[in-house]
Structure 1
Amino acid sequence: MFTTLFKNTMISCRALFFLSSILVILNSRVVSQDVNQIILEDGQFKNILVAIHEGVEEDPTIIDNIKNMFKSGSPVLFSATEFRVFWKEILILVPRSWTREQSYEIAQSQSYNRANVRIHFGDESTDPKVVNHLSCGKEGHNLAMTTGYVQSTSKHGTCHKMDIVRNWARLRWSLMPEHYTGDDSSEPTYFHNGTCEGTRCSREISGS
């Protein structure tokens, strides 16, 4: 396992620690089909396993972007749930073939097949998808993302943090994708004047 810990302090009415622990772990040969158990304790999501597929070529920006996605998305999740929950602890599982940094630790029971969020090879145009999306209120199996999406610059930053919160809601509570139609000609989010906007009618057009 690799380990990288950092503190992220946000001010929102009061000082709170959001995502404060990111542990990077080096994949072992553990084989298990049981999905990793996410812990929810005192409004804090812990033990969230994000795994990078063994076939993905080494690229440190993938790890950095995963960290930034959850770090920037945590206060958004906190606000969207009316200050009820946020991400506190993330585990990132990297392939055995990647260079082992000093901070990395060896995986114990963690594996790609158990991960809650799975990063596999694919292009930027493929949006994240919840596998085995069930009826409302039921937890899905896992959230799948492509390397192209995670590495992308067109959705980097603002859109990534909105997307991860939206998809987390689908994974954790099976909320339906009501933000766009889902066909090939539409996008859930887009950049406009340097900010991330949801697909909707323009605010610049008024009428009666």
Structure 2
Amino acid sequence: MTSELLDEIYKRAEYLSKTDIHPSHVVELLEVYVKSRPQHGRAWSLYGVALKDLSRNKESFQALITAYELAPETYKGFVAMQIAILVQDFQSPKDACAWFEAGCKHADIDHGWPWILKGANLMYMEEFDAAIICFETALREDHDLKDEAYFNLGLAYRAQGRYEQAIDCFKSALQINPAYEEAINALAGMDNLPDTFRLIAEYRKNSGEIH
């Protein structure tokens, strides 16, 4: 196959990979491409993501591992996060931890979303204190996802029953993004908590339960 045709195949695959609706095209194109240019790390990364979109998870994992091994230091963090997301879904949140850690330690990517995703993975495992540290770290970084960091921090506080702190976080998320539907719903779900606690207290008092 001529070099010009290979270039055209990669350009088409790269273009189609910018949306989520063409994974079949991307897989077919890049399957051919990486056989002829197996040292092209970026191609392996796009190939792995497209394979995941087709639920070909084992092949996706192998492609992304190849991409990680070939990636320059400036791109390893991004690939590590892609592997982490795949492993979280395909294997378990626990197995994904090492890849989330690898993604967060690289300085080549926006430090907001890796820490948010790492925290969310810890939430799956009910490691709420560790998740809170991740979301707080995300809030200290310079990025455009602080509404999501506040929202997820609120979810962690809510899971621990730290409702006032959760409410403050949901409000902070909405100050940044007033149309953030999940934060709107989460805040609405905290309405009238004092009434709930009064009812519980009344029951405990009448039943003689000590708390």
Q: Could you say which structure has the greater relative contact order, defined with CA pairs below 8 angstroms and 6 or more residues apart? A: 1
Q: TM-score, normalised by structure 1?
A: 0.22
More strand as a share of residues? 1
More helix as a share of residues? 2
Which structure is larger by alpha-carbon Rg, 1 or 2? Answer: 2
